[in-house]
Each structure stands twice: as C-alpha cells, then as structure tokens.
Structure 1
Amino acid sequence: MTDIKTPKTWRSPAVDIYETEAGLTLIAELPGVERDALDLAFDRGTLTLEGRSDDIGYQRRFRIPEHLDAEEIAAELKDGLLTVTLPRAAGARARKIEVTVH
C-alpha cells in the first residue's frame, strides 16, 4: 500500500458471494478505493481485504474452504467494485461418471 493517512473510520464493506460449479465469486463494494490503496492477501486459509479511501478504511476477512484452489485466486478492481474469483480445486469439481452396460 502507498503512504495514505490512517483512516478516521473503519468499515466492513458490503460483500456479495456467489457459488457456481466453478467456485466462488466475491464482490466487495469499495467506493473511492484506488489500486495502490488496496491490499488483498491469503494466508493459512483466510482471505483478508483492506482498502483505504480518504478518511474511510475498509477491512474484512473470510475463511476459505479447503476445496478451493488458493493458488488460482484472481482479483479485479473496477469502478469501486472488487471482484475476487476463487476457483474450486480440480479434485473438488463435480464431474459426470459414465456407466457402462454389460
């Protein structure tokens, strides 16, 4: 993070989480937060999000299920919305099993 002054107020950002067959998508509202004032980290099963804008700081933590692939987490910040994609691990994805008839 850049050297931005310490926020006077800390808030928990509004977040929507969607689950699909591919994994989870997390969308956090971070109005006014720029890329250089955003920190997203994953450590020991916890995803931590922290962003700063003027006098407001945003912070939230999420426990990430083991069936998600932490190495493939991706994030995009656009127009104050942070979208984090957490794909399922290959072994945790649903698959169709073919049945043979004898």
Structure 2
Amino acid sequence: MRNDVQTSQRTSPGTSPSTPERQDTSRYSDATLTPPVDVIEDANGITLYADLPGVNRDKLHLQVESDTLTIEAQADISVPEGLTSSHTEVGLARFRRVFTLSKELDTERVSAELAQGVLTLRIPKAQHAQPRRIEVQAA
C-alpha cells in the first residue's frame, strides 16, 4: 500500500488563555485535523487504526472510490456540565485523512469498527494477490 496522505492545515484558534469562553465558533469551521493512523500489514491484508477522539459513528464518513480511501469525521468535544472552559483549542474538531490504496487490496470487502475513539479498518487482499500454493505435477 502506498500511504499517500493529503495534508491538512490546522488553523490557529486565535484565543488566549485569558479568554473565559469561546463564543464565535465560525472561525473553527474550516480547521481540519489530520488524525494519527497506524497501518499494519499481514499476509491477508492491512488494518488501519485511526485516532478519532470524540467522534460518534453518525459523524464518521468513510469512502472508497477507485483506489482512494477517505476518512472524514467530526467530533463535538463539549465541556462537562457545571464546568467552564478557560481555554479551548479543539472544540469542534474536523478530521480528514486520505490514502491511496494498492491494487492488491479488495476495496469491496472493507470492514470498519469504531470503539472508544479508535477507528479500525480492515482491508483484505484481493483474491489475485492472496498467496497460493502451486502444485507440481510429476512428468
């Protein structure tokens, strides 16, 4: 797999520690964070582990088009009831990561699971890329 990643810029929130609460969230809407991803390859395919803290399943969008895998998610990290934030750098986090997948992978059989802020994606190798034993005939 070629791990081509579209880079995303994180914009500065423009708040200072002395600001008691962030009132205007419009300047955060374009900020995109690049989630850290671990890629593990074995004989049967690859497994990607992406850290997406605060993301719920309904705010997660996964797409495979041709040989491109796109992960997009949105987290709404709220302040617990009864507390007030004195400084917030990540309040409404948008995550985006793009990968170019090898033709050896079967993008029709991708499976995904989201648990405790970690997305696990399993992409098996295509049948033509699976190791197979070749039987030798006696002459």
User: Could you say which TM-score interval applies, normalised by the shorter chain?
Assistant: 0.7 to 0.9
Residues 81, 43 of structure 1: alpha-carbon distance in 2 compared, 3 angstrom cutoff: same
Contact 1:7 1:57 in 2 (8 A): no
Higher strand share: 1
Query: Is the Cα contact below 8 Å between 1:7 and 1:56 reproduced in 2?
Result: no
Equivalent in the alignment of 1:88: 125
Number of matched residues? 98
How far apart, in 2, do the equivalents of 1:7 and 1:34 lie? 23
3-state SS in 2 of match to 1:36: strand
**How far apart are 1:10 and its partner, in Å?**
1.5
- Structure 2 gaps of 5+ residues are 1-24, 77-91
Per the TM alignment, residue 100 of structure 1 is displaced from its structure 2 partner at its CA by 4.1
Q: Distance in 1 between matches of 2:43 and 2:133?
A: 13
Name the counterpart of 2:4: none
Q: Distance in 2 between matches of 1:27 and 1:53?
A: 17
The TM-score, its normalising length taken from structure 2, stands at: 0.65
The unaligned stretches of length 5 or more in structure 1 are none
Identity over aligned pairs, percent: 40
For the pair shown, which has the larger CA radius of gyration, 1 or 2?
Answer: 2
Match of 2:49 among 4, 7, 27: 27
After the TM superposition, which segments of 4 or more aligned residues of structure 1 sit over 4 Å from their partners?
none
2:58 corresponding residue in structure 1? 36
Q: Secondary structure at the match of 1:13?
A: coil
Q: How high is the TM-score relative to the length of structure 1?
A: 0.88
Q: Give, in angstroms, the shift of residue 57 of structure 1.
A: 0.7
